[in-house]
Structure formats: structure tokens, C-alpha cells
Copies of this chain bind each other. A is one copy, B any other.
Amino acid sequence: MNKSDPILTVDGVIFQFVDTKLSVLLIQRGYEPFKGQWALPGVYIEPGETSKQALERVLAQKADLSLSKITLIEQPFAFDAPHRDPRAYAVTVMYMGLCKNAQPGSAGDGSNLQNPQFTTLSELPELAYDHRAIVAFAHNRLAALATHTNVVGMLLPKTFTLTQLQQAYEAIFEKKFDKRNFRKRMLMLGFVKETGDMYTDGAHRPAKLYTLAKNKFQSYTPAFE
């Protein structure tokens, strides 16, 4: 390929909760440029594959994470990326993905894994390229989605307490909500319903368990709502 051809890459912003903290999947780059630095999992789109296939490939190779573990938000977004090769123009296609309990691989052998880690948003290290802006963008989109969809359910276990749900929202919006108003709103919007089961956790009153009222997420496509 001619070095100055436009370059098309894909980057994934994969969110997951670690404890009650919103985290994003990072890898540590194995080669130049930015060797050793933290970055989003990303890769060149190869001849004959789609951006989604390339994303699947990089997640498998560098983080040992299967796309099947992830709810992908099917709305790729393009960023005019800073030049990787000084003579080429690069566009990166960003996907946002949501998951829970995903364990990125940690093989110490001769694999291609690049030390994948879910890293708390509030503790992001310096990132390669403009990846910090891309993460911020995805975070912002997640918040926008969370205001009018049940998307947060994709980040939580099948059943959860309202306190867990509230903590998730608080992590995404980076602010506190009033407990009574929050619960009123969730029930009013019909996002959740009781399962009938309880969850006992410690030396205090057990909590009711809830689940998503409609547990499929309407993917947020360019065709709108």
C-alpha cells in the first residue's frame, strides 16, 4: 500500500463496571509509535474486512475478548485522527461496547496480548494518539443514551438492586442523585421491574432485586429513534 493513501483504522471503547467504577478497556502498545503507552484497542482495517470485523480481530488478539461478550453500540463514529504516518491521513472508526464480567486475557506466554486492563475512568493514564478525546466522546454518548434508554442494563448483572442501578447512573453522570427521586423516575419510566427475589449483603435490611423490564436494548442506529 502506498504510504500516503488514506488510512482507515478502528478503535473500540469497551466499558465495564469494576466494582462501582465505570472503566474502559485499555491495552499497552507493543510497538511504535507510542510503544509501551496505554491506548484503546485498535487496528488497521485490512483489505477485505469491515470495521466491525477488524474490531473483533483486535479484541481477540490483543485482549482475548470475544465480541459475543459485548453489547456493541452500532453507531460507528469517525475521528480525523492525528497522523500515525506523517505522510498519511488517518480516519479512525470508533465503536462503543458495553459488557459485564468480561475478563480480558492475561496470558504470560508468547501471545499477542498487550496487557489488557479495565481501567477506571477517573484514573486514566495518559493515552496514545487522541484516545483520551475518543474516550471522553464515548463516555458522553453513553450518558446521552442512558438518559432515555435502558442501556445501563447492559453494564449490570441480570438482576440488580436499585442502589446498584443508582450507583451505575452516578458513575456515568459523575454526579449524585436523590434516592427517592431516582427510584420514582426509574419506575415511572418503566425501565425496571421487581423479580420478587431479595438480595442480602450484610448487616442491614435486604434489598429487592430488579431486572430490566424489556431486556433487549434497541441499538442506537443512524436511522434514529
| Partner-B contacts on A (CB < 8 A) | 1-2, 4-6, 8, 45-52, 76-80, 87-89, 91, 93, 133-134, 136-137, 140, 222-224
Contacts and interface: CB of A to CB of B under 8 A. Distances in A.
Given A5-B47, A79-B222, 12 more contacts: A1-B5, A6-B8, A6-B45, A8-B91, A49-B89, A51-B78, A52-B80, A78-B93, A91-B93, A133-B222, A133-B223, A140-B224
Contact of A51 (B1, B50, B91): B91
Contacts of A2: 1, 47
B89 A91 contact: no
A8 B45 CA distance: 11
A77 B80 contact: no
Contacts of A89: 45, 48-51
Number of copies: 2
A140 B221 CA distance: 12
Contacts of A88: 47
Interface centre among A4, A78, A93 (most CB of B within 10 A): A78
A5 B47 CA distance: 4
Contacts of A45: 6, 89
Nearest to A4: B47
Nearest to A83: B50
Contacts of A5: 1, 5, 47
Contact of A136 (B6, B79, B223): B223
